[in-house]
């Protein structure tokens, strides 16, 4: 017996009536209702104000977008501001089945990140770098590093998909990542000292055998790829280089890189030697690296680099001789080296020094020109005299880590130990924008808890926009329900549109998917992402039509020897063909095109037993290849709830046994 279909008119009438009731209710609301609801939940006036600043009703869109590193999730997370809603996770170094990443989509890209010939299917993403034009974000590309295996990925912001992964052959781990003001180079700085090329050496020869490096990856915007053949590296002492930032405007042409282990500590706690945490922190200062990248590029192009493990490397001696590399003392255990909007000031925060130390680009240039050295390090690299290059030191609190800039002359520094964000005033031209005296701590807003990096809107560009700052807290302790002992991190949104002590926390966002480090915040209207692929049959990897893409009306299965090719179209709610018969041992090349042109009409392609999951966004073509080694009957289906007849959107892969 058939069920009577639900009378549509009745359903429509009922929902219209319901909407009518709701609308009637809305009209009757008053501030008294708001007060009542606030009282019932114990909300203060400050809470209601924060809610008014952040609550984003259905359909309202965010003004800004955070691109956050995903830490050991190996991905990038995209979050709206001020709503603090997670908009998207971009799969990068780690397979991710929703996007099909590593299960049929992007397998080749992931394989580019093979380490020593083997897949390493996770990453520890730290520092996202949006592409820049004239020192400001342009919203076109995003770069992200993987600390654990020293890799760099290129993400296309037209479709938010990873297009390229690079593994340098020199070093093992990295930390810093930044771009030059017009994205000529993506700069990767190594972290822990190791012998180049994954070679073996014992710790007693650390100073001689271990090295750090900075890699200049040449980016070709037209191709949307880094060109390894035009990239080069500079050899550095094994000082554990850390964060790097590229100079701009007044400091254009320089790269600044922090380092932590100028002590050359090698650990050995089991042999009663000082553990790393003590050995690495012994010296009163570490060494800020100052690299003249434009000169380095000229030296590389003139053949001044030596090939090491298939990669051109400028040796330390050449860097010294050509004046490419200088050092200067910096507060110990530094993390952020951050360049003020005009490029004239370089702010370094050392976690074990309560000050931020501010260097002058002008003074650095003068000291280089006049050779105002206080000596040189063990490798012969000149050390610029600290007093000759420093502009100011501002006591901001305990555990300063990273600095961002506002639009009005304030700088903001995260304080890990104080669990606070410090607002302080810059001097010179910047000082005119702030009522307080120059170079002064203005206010500390407590955050919950243990803030690492912080991010302000365009806060590391030539044109910071102020408004919001996000404190990327490592611990949340008591802020959220405990979902077992692995707690979420806490992204706290801070309103920095006021002055002085007015910078309240207005929203907490739990991050339950890895531990983010740095994140950048861009104006949403600078992003020009596609809602659907431009044409049907689009190959997202090449960003053009795939000439082999299956077309409507041309669906077929062909066989050539033991190779079976499937040309399948996908549309609501059918796969065509929906029977695919092969023989055990056949090589199957399965091409599929999503014919849809409607926004959000995504289909999935899920195949049991063969570890295949594909996401087919409107217009997209994907090709998967596998050996049909397991005989049987395998129902494949659409893994996106695409339509009312979604469950019916399936087919059978029949693998006939030998």
User: What does the alpha-carbon distance between residue 126 and residue 148 come to, in Å, rounded to a whole number?
Assistant: 10
Which contiguous run of DSSP H or E holds residue 347? strand 345-350
User: What does the alpha-carbon distance between residue 221 and residue 202 come to, in Å, rounded to a whole number?
Assistant: 42
Question: How many other CB atoms sit within 10 Å of the CB of residue 38?
Answer: 15
Question: How many other CB atoms sit within 10 Å of the CB of residue 122?
Answer: 17
- For the chain, report the end-to-end CA distance as a whole number of angstroms: 43
Q: How far is the CB of 12 from other proteins (least distance, A)?
A: 8
User: What does the alpha-carbon distance between residue 319 and residue 513 come to, in Å, rounded to a whole number?
Assistant: 41
Q: How far is the CB of 465 from other proteins (least distance, A)?
A: 30
User: What does the alpha-carbon distance between residue 186 and residue 322 come to, in Å, rounded to a whole number?
Assistant: 22
Shorter beta-carbon distance to other proteins: residue 37 or 645? 645
Q: How far is the CB of 5 from other proteins (least distance, A)?
A: 4
Shorter beta-carbon distance to other proteins: residue 2 or 222? 2
**Tokens 């290129």, residue?**
154
Q: How far is the CB of 573 from other proteins (least distance, A)?
A: 7
Question: How many other CB atoms sit within 10 Å of the CB of residue 520?
Answer: 23
Pairing of strands 579-583, 650-656: parallel
Tokens representing residue 20 in the block: 């009518």
Q: How far is the CB of 526 from other proteins (least distance, A)?
A: 23
User: What does the alpha-carbon distance between residue 215 and residue 615 come to, in Å, rounded to a whole number?
Assistant: 34
Shorter beta-carbon distance to other proteins: residue 422 or 536? 536
Q: How far is the CB of 11 from other proteins (least distance, A)?
A: 9
DSSP tag of 169? S
Shorter beta-carbon distance to other proteins: residue 396 or 638? 638
At residue 510, φ and ψ (nearest 5 deg) are: -75, 140
Shorter beta-carbon distance to other proteins: residue 18 or 116? 18
Shorter beta-carbon distance to other proteins: residue 5 or 57? 5
DSSP per-residue string spanning 291-335: EEHHHHHHHHHTT--EEETTEEEE-HHHHHHHT-EEEEEEESSEE
Q: How far is the CB of 598 from other proteins (least distance, A)?
A: 5
Q: How far is the CB of 10 from other proteins (least distance, A)?
A: 13
Helix axes 45-54, 31-40, angle to 10 degrees: 110
Shorter beta-carbon distance to other proteins: residue 432 or 597? 597
At residue 303, φ and ψ (nearest 5 deg) are: 90, 20
Tokens representing residue 369 in the block: 């020109």
Shorter beta-carbon distance to other proteins: residue 2 or 272? 2
Shorter beta-carbon distance to other proteins: residue 198 or 641? 641
Enumerate binding residues for other proteins (CB under 8 A). Answer: 2, 5, 8, 12, 571-573, 596-598, 644-645, 648
Query: Which of 581, 565, 555 lies closest to 651, judged by CA?
Result: 581
Q: How far is the CB of 620 from other proteins (least distance, A)?
A: 16
């Amino acid at each position: 017996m058939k069920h009577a279909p639900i009378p549509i008119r009745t359903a429509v009438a009922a929902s219209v009536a319901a909407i009518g009731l709701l609308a009637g209710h809305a009209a009757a609301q008053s501030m008294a209702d708001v007060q009542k609801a606030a009282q019932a939940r114990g909300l203060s006036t400050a809470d209601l104000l924060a809610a008014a600043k952040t609550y984003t009703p259905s359909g309202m869109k965010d003004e800004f977008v955070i691109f956050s590193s995903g830490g050991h999730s190996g991905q990038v997370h995209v979050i709206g501001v001020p709503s603090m809603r997670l908009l998207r996770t971009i799969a990068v170094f780690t397979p991710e089945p929703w996007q099909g990443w590593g299960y049929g989509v992007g397998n080749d890209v992931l394989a580019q990140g093979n380490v020593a010939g083997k897949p390493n299917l996770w990453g520890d993403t730290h520092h996202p770098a949006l592409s820049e034009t004239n020192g400001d974000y342009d919203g076109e590309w995003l770069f992200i590093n993987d600390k654990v295996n020293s890799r760099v990925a290129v993400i296309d912001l037209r479709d938010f998909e990873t297009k390229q992964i690079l593994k340098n052959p020199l070093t093992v781990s990295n930390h810093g990542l930044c771009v030059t003001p017009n994205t000529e180079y993506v700069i990767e700085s190594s972290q822990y000292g190791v012998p180049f090329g994954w070679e073996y050496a014992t710790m007693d020869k650390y100073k001689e055998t271990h090295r750090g490096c900075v890699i200049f990856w040449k980016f070709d915007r037209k191709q949307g790829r880094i060109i390894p053949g035009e990239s080069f590296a500079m050899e550095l002492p094994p000082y554990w280089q850390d964060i790097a930032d590229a100079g701009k405007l007044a400091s254009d042409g320089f790269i600044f890189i922090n380092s932590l282990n100028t002590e050359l500590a090698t650990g050995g706690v089991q042999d009663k030697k000082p553990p790393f945490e003590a050995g690495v922190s012994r010296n009163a200062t570490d060494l800020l690296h100052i690299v003249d990248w434009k000169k380095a590029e000229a030296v590389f192009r003139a053949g001044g680099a030596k090939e090491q493990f298939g990669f051109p490397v400028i040796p330390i001696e050449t860097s010294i001789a050509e004046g490419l590399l200088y050092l200067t003392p910096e507060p110990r255990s530094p993390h952020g080296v951050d360049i003020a909007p005009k490029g004239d000031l370089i702010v370094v925060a050392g976690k074990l020094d309560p000050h931020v130390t501010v260097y002058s680009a002008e003074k650095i240039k003068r000291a280089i020109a006049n050779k105002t050295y206080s000596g040189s390090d063990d490798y012969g690299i000149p050390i610029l005299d600290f007093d000759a290059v420093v502009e100011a030191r501002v006591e901001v609190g305990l555990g300063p880590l990273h600095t961002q800039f506002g639009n009005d002359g304030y700088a903001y520094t995260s304080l890990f130990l104080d669990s606070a964000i410090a607002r302080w005033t810059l001097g010179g031209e910047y000082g005119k924008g702030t009522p307080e005296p120059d170079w002064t701590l203005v206010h500390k807003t407590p955050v919950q808890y243990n803030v690492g990096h912080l991010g302000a809107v365009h806060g590391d560009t030539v044109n910071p926009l102020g408004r919001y700052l996000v404190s990327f807290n490592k611990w949340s302790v008591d802020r959220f329900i405990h979902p077992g002992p692995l707690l979420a991190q806490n992204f706290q949104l801070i309103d920095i549109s006021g002055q002085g002590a007015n910078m309240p926390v207005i929203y907490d966002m739990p991050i339950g998917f890895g531990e983010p480090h740095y994140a950048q915040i861009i104006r949403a209207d600078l992003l020009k992402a596609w809602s659907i692929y431009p044409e049907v049959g689009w190959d997202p990897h090449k960003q053009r039509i795939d000439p082999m893409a299956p077309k409507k009306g041309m669906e077929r299965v062909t066989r050539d020897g033991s190779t079976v090719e499937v040309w399948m179209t996908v549309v609501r709610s059918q796969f065509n063909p929906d029977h695919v018969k092969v023989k055990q041992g056949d090589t199957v090349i399965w091409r599929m095109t999503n014919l849809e042109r409607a926004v959000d009409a995504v289909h999935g392609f899920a195949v049991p037993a063969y570890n295949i999951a594909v996401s087919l966004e409107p217009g997209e073509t994907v090709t998967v290849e596998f050996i049909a080694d397991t005989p049987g009957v395998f129902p494949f289906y659409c893994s996106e709830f695409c339509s009312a007849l979604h469950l019916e959107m399936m087919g059978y892969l029949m693998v006939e046994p030998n």
